[in-house]
Structures are given as structure tokens and as C-alpha cells.
Amino acid sequence: MKVTYPKLAELELRNKRVFIRVDFNVPLKLVGETYQVSDARRIEEALPTIRHVIEQGGKVILGSHLGRPKGQFNLKYSLEPVGSYLSSVLGKDVLLTEDCVGDAPRGLSHQMRAGDVMLLENLRFHPGEEENSSEFANKLAELCDVYVSDAFGTMHRAHASTDGLPRLTKNRAIGLLVEKELKYLSPLKENPKRPFLLLMGGSKVSDKIGVLEYFLPKVDTLVIGGAMAYSFLNAKGFKVGKSICEDKQVQLAKKIIRRADARNVRLVLPEDHVVSLAFGDTQNVSVTQGIDISDDKMGLDIGPKTIAKIEAALETAETIFWNGPMGVFEEPVFAKGTFEVAKLIAKTKAVKLVGGGDSAAAITKAGLDSFFDFISTGGGATLEYLEGKNLPGLKVLEIIERT
């Protein structure tokens, strides 16, 4: 049995109304009295699909969510700043609808000419989106002749625009971004080139447990940083002071340690830490001499010994997958670990893959994007795909070939 997905290149798009589910859930910043896009990576990654449809003479109808408006209109979550940014990079007007469904957008969809672009207002202003309501999906279906899924970051959600709508649309395909995600993530999941080094950071072991368990039979070196490292250190009997460390996370860490030992996986944990008296305290910062953290301190980044240890571990890797920062990198005083690790990975000759918004943001901030083979836009969807879970937004588009 072979699973494939319909491709964008296979669709007839000329004069068709093409609904592209994009992931424009991007961070905004308030400049004066207006919001502006502060990180446009997800918009930029969707541009090849949008431009393809324009070049093929299609009528582009973009659907996305932004934030968590909880089924109600909230100006704070309007896609207007996204529309302004999109208009500037496409070099053409992008019409933003007042609502994503109803008589007005339906009428506008029929008035569009080939190459026009329309951005629907936030899909989550309607409760039917997250409820995967058939009524809401049918209203979206009235807007289009063709459905294209290019929002990999939302494929783990069975929502109306990712699951209900494609079920109602005969002519459908994955977009170029989703195609690229699968091109890089599928080989990583099935048969990564070894030696394979998995570098995990972030706050909770429970968020990463599925990926850790899935990859243990395939990984040669497992490097743990970020707040989740304190659970592993606690599990091994070290003192972690006031660092984030819940009992449930410690128990999960113990399980991973046992399984890593059983499979002879090299486990790399922090050997020193950048610490302070409390989260957000940037004045009383110091570096520990060893692994233990005193009772009055909290670990907020990895130290220089740990960075050197990670550098040594990276030298032999043929494949590297990184998810999660090494510390509270939003604060410059606790950012060195994350940025140094990004630089060290960038220097290697391995296949370098990154998943997770924080890791991607750190790479961009360090100006290292071009040194990485692939930076996933998926976040939670990437982790769920890699741990072998079915993504509803992908499964609905499957073509099963019997072999």
C-alpha cells in the first residue's frame, strides 16, 4: 500500500476560484495605533503556491486563522495587517473581506478576475471553524471550485477549513509548502541518515514525549536542553534548585533515560547552567561550576561547558533535527546557549532540519536561515507528524494505491 497526495501542478486552475488554506497565524506588533506583521516567515513560505495559482490564471481566495478569538469577532485578531503585508510583497491589491462567509464574500468570489487575490477575514471569528461544523464548511465551499491545502501548521487540527471543506471539494491538492514539508520530514521520520542526532529543548518533556519515544530506535545521540533538561537532571539525582521541574515530567524523563540506556543511545545533558534568583531576574545572573543548582537559584540557559559538549556531539552527526530553545532566549542575557547552538549546527556538514517556532525564530534572528536544509513551519503539527500520528488535514487528502 502506497500513500500519495494530489499535487497542485495536476490541477486545472484557469478561471477557477481557488481556496488556499494558508497558515497566516503570524506574530503582530503595535506600531503607533496599527498592528504590523513582525515575523513574516509563514506568509513568505506560502508565496510560491499563491504565485503559482496567479500565474496559472486562477482566482486566489486565501483562508487563515489568527490567534484565538474564540468564535467571535475581535479586531485584535483581524487579518488586515496580513493583507497589507501580502499586498506589498505581491505587488497587487489584496481584498480583505469583512466576513469569511456569507453573501458578500460569495458575491465577490464570482466577480473576481483571473489573477485576483482575496483574503478572507479570520476563519476563527466563527465557532463553526474549530467545531468542524458541516454548515460552516458548506458556506466555505460556496466560495470555491478548487481546494488547496498549504497550511502544514494547522493539519493536526480537524477544523472546517482543513477537514470539512476538502471533503466537499472534488478538485483538491496539497500546496507547494506542504509538498516541501513532506519532502524533508518524511525521510526524517522513516529512515534518517545516520549517525542521527536529535536535539530537544523547550519547557515540557510531556510535549516532546511522543517524538522522543518514536525516534529512540533510530537516533544515535539525544541532546536535551531548555527547561525540560531539569527534569532529566532531577531524574538522575542532581539538584535543580527552583528550576521548572514537575514530578510528572521527572517520571517521563526517567522512562526516556531507561529506554535510551537500553538502546545504547548517547544522552547529552547540561553540565553547567546560567542561573538567576527568579524567572525574569536579569540582574543576579551567574554561571554554575557544575551540574547542581543551589536551592535559591533557577536555571535559565545552558552554560559554556554544555555548549562545548554539544559541539563535540555534533561533529559526527550526518542528520540533525532540532526542536526547542536551550533557554529563555527572549532575554538577551539567557540567549547565548540557543544562539551558540544554532551557529554550531549551521557549521556542520550534516543534513540540518529544524521544527518549532522558537528554534526557527532564533535561527532567523542569528541570520543563519540559509545554512539549514529545512526549517519547518509546523510547530505542533511537525511533532505529531514525526511521532507517527495521523494529521486530519493531511489524511483527508490521501490517495491510497494498492501495491
Give the pLDDT confidence of 154-174 residue by residue, as tens digits: 999 999 999 999 999 999 999
pLDDT score for 185: 95
pLDDT in tens, 254-290: 999 999 999 999 999 999 999 999 988 999 999 999 9
Q: What is the pTM of this model?
A: 0.91
Residue pointed to by grid coordinates 532564533: 362
pLDDT in tens, 193-203: 999 999 999 88
List the one residue out of 328, 318, 330, 324 whose CA is nearest residue 342.
324
Whether the ω angle into residue 195 lies within 30 degrees of 0, i.e. cis, is yes
pLDDT score for 361: 85
Q: Would you say residue 357 has pLDDT above 90? A: no
Element containing residue 294 per DSSP (H, E)? none
Distance of CA 186 to the CA centre of its chain: 15
| Composition of the chain by helix, strand, coil, percent to 5 | 40, 20, 40
Q: Tell me which residues are annotated as active site.
A: 42, 204, 357, 380
**Rounded average pLDDT over 223-244:** 95
Give, in order, the Cα–Cα distances in Å from 216 to each of 116, 186, 219, 228, 326.
Answer: 48, 17, 5, 17, 21
Which residues touch 47 (CB under 8 Å, ≥6 apart)? 89, 90
Element containing residue 148 per DSSP (H, E)? strand 146-149
Confidence of residue 181 (pLDDT cuts 50, 70, 90): very high
What are the two backbone dihedrals, phi and then psi, of residue 274, each rounded to the nearest 5 degrees? Answer: -90, 120
pLDDT score for 365: 85
- Whether 2-178 and 191-386 share one fold: the answer is yes
Domain segments of the chain as ranges: 2-178, 191-386
Under a CB-based contact definition with an 8 Å cutoff, are residues 384 and 156 in contact?
A: yes
pLDDT in tens, 280-294: 899 999 999 999 999
pLDDT score for 63: 98
| Domain 191-386: assigned CATH number | 3.40.50.1260
**Rounded average pLDDT over 343-368:** 90
pLDDT score for 403: 66
Mean model confidence pLDDT for the chain: 94
Q: How far apart are CA 163 and CA 98, in angstroms?
A: 24
pLDDT score for 362: 86
Cell of 269: 545533558
H-state helical runs in 56-102 = 80-90
Confidence of residue 18 (pLDDT cuts 50, 70, 90): very high
pLDDT in tens, 292-351: 999 999 999 999 999 999 999 999 999 999 999 999 988 999 999 999 999 999 999 999
pLDDT score for 76: 92
Reduced to 3 states (helix: H, G, I; strand: E, B; else coil), residue 52 is helix
pLDDT score for 109: 97
CATH number 3.40.50.1260 given to 2-178: yes
pLDDT in tens, 68-113: 999 999 999 999 999 999 999 999 999 999 999 999 999 999 999 9
> How do strand 59-63 and strand 28-31 relate by DSSP bridges?
unpaired
Q: Would you say residue 250 has pLDDT above 90? A: yes
Which residues touch 272 (CB under 8 Å, ≥6 apart)? 287, 288, 289, 290, 291, 302, 303, 304, 305, 306
